[in-house]
Structure 1
Amino acid sequence: MTAPAAQELDERCFLSAQSMPSLKVSEHFQVVKLLGEGSYGKVMLAVHRKRGTPMALKFFPRQSTTLASFLREYNLSLSYCTHPSLTRALGIFFSTPTYYVFAQQAGLYGDLYSVIVSEVGVDEECVQRVMSQLSGAVTHLHSLGFVHRDIKPENIFLCDSSCRWVKLGDFGLARSVGTTVRAVWYESPFCTPEVEPAKEPQKEREWDETEEEEEMEDIWITVETSIDSWALGVLVYCLLTGCFPWQESTHDDRGYRKFKEWFDREAEKEEKLRDGEWRSGEEIDSYTIMKENRRDNPVPSQFEGLSMLVMTLLKELLHPEPKQRGSPEEILSYLGGPWLTETEVEEQRKAEEAEKEARKIREAGGVEEKLLREGRGER
Structure 2
Amino acid sequence: MDGTSQIGDHYHVIKKLGQGTFSHVLMARELISGHLVALKFVRKDRTRQTTFIHELNILIALSEYPGIIKTYPTYIETMDYFIFTQELAPAGTLQSIIKAEVGIPEEVVKRCAVQITAALDYMHGRGLVHRDLKPDNVLLMDKECYHIKLCDFGFTQLVGSLIPSMSHIIPYMPPELCSLKPKQLLVLDQSMDIWSLGILLFVALTGYFPWEEAVGHNHKYQMFLHWQDNRNYVPAPLLWKGFTQKALVMFLKLLSHNPSSRSPPDTVLKFLHLPWTAKVSSDSLVVEGDLNIIILDDNDELQVIEYIIQEQEQVSAVCY
TM-score w.r.t. length of structure 2: 0.84
SS in structure 2 of the partner of residue 56 of structure 1: strand
| 1:52 maps onto 2:18 in alignment | no
Q: Answer with 1 or 2: which has the greater Rg.
A: 1
Counterpart of 1:298 (choices 235, 242, 251) is: 235
SS in structure 2 of the partner of residue 157 of structure 1: strand
Amino acid at match of 1:299: A
Counterpart of 1:37 (choices 7, 19, 24) is: 19
Q: Give unpaired runs (5+ residues) of structure 2.
A: 281-285, 292-320
How far, CA to CA, are the matches of 1:62 and 1:173 in structure 2? Answer: 16
Counterpart of 2:247 (choices 278, 302, 310) is: 310
Q: CA deviation at 1:118?
A: 0.7
Counterpart of 2:218 (choices 245, 249, 253) is: 253
More strand by share: 2
Q: CA deviation at 1:336?
A: 2.0
For residues 202-241 of structure 1, what are the alpha-carbon distances to aligned partners after superposition, in whole Å with 9 as ceiling and x for unaligned?
5xxxxxxxxxxxxxxx110011100000000001110111
How far, CA to CA, are the matches of 1:196 and 1:97 in structure 2? Answer: 36
Counterpart of 1:227 (choices 170, 192, 203) is: 192
Q: CA deviation at 1:301?
A: 0.9
Q: Does the aligned pair in 1 maintain the 2:62–2:68 contact within 8 Å?
A: no
Q: Does the aligned pair in 1 maintain the 2:169–2:178 contact within 8 Å?
A: no
Cα 1:91–1:226 shift into 2, 3 Å: same
Write the mapping of 1:124-139 to structure 2, written as runs, cut at 5 A. Answer: 124-139=106-121
> 2:152 maps to which residue?
170
Q: Does the aligned pair in 2 maintain the 1:185–1:191 contact within 8 Å?
A: no
How far, CA to CA, are the matches of 1:237 and 1:222 in structure 2? Answer: 26
Write the mapping of 1:58-207 to structure 2, written as runs, cut at 5 A. Answer: 58-184=40-166, 186-198=168-180, 201=181
How far, CA to CA, are the matches of 2:141 and 2:65 in structure 1? Answer: 14
| 1:342 maps onto 2:279 in alignment | yes
Q: CA deviation at 1:345?
A: 4.8
**Structural RMSD (CA):** 1.8
How far, CA to CA, are the matches of 2:275 and 2:19 in structure 1? Answer: 36
Cα 1:68–1:185 shift into 2, 3 Å: closer
Cα 1:185–1:192 shift into 2, 3 Å: farther
Identity, in percent, stands at: 32
Write the mapping of 1:253-292 to structure 2, written as runs, cut at 5 A. Answer: 253-266=218-231
Q: CA deviation at 1:347?
A: 4.4
Q: Does the aligned pair in 1 maintain the 2:250–2:268 contact within 8 Å?
A: yes
How far, CA to CA, are the matches of 2:64 and 2:22 in structure 1? Answer: 23
Q: CA deviation at 1:181?
A: 1.4
How far, CA to CA, are the matches of 1:305 and 1:334 in structure 2? Answer: 16
> 2:311 maps to which residue?
none
Q: CA deviation at 1:185?
A: 6.0
Q: CA deviation at 1:184?
A: 2.2
Amino acid at match of 1:242: G
Cα 1:194–1:103 shift into 2, 3 Å: same
Count the aligned residue pairs. Answer: 282
Q: Does the aligned pair in 2 maintain the 1:81–1:141 contact within 8 Å?
A: no
SS in structure 2 of the partner of residue 235 of structure 1: helix
Amino acid at match of 1:251: G
Q: Does the aligned pair in 1 maintain the 2:179–2:215 contact within 8 Å?
A: no
* Greater relative CO, 1 or 2 (CA 8 Å, sep 6+): 1
For residues 294-341 of structure 1, what are the alpha-carbon distances to aligned partners after superposition, in whole Å with 9 as ceiling and x for unaligned?
xx4211111000011111111011000111111111111111210011
Counterpart of 2:204 (choices 230, 236, 239) is: 239
Q: Does the aligned pair in 1 maintain the 2:244–2:288 contact within 8 Å?
A: no
> 2:256 maps to which residue?
319
- Structure 1 runs, 4 residues or longer, greater than 6 Å off: none
Q: Does the aligned pair in 2 maintain the 1:36–1:44 contact within 8 Å?
A: yes
How far, CA to CA, are the matches of 1:321 and 1:88 in structure 2? Answer: 34
SS in structure 2 of the partner of residue 36 of structure 1: strand
More helix by share: 1
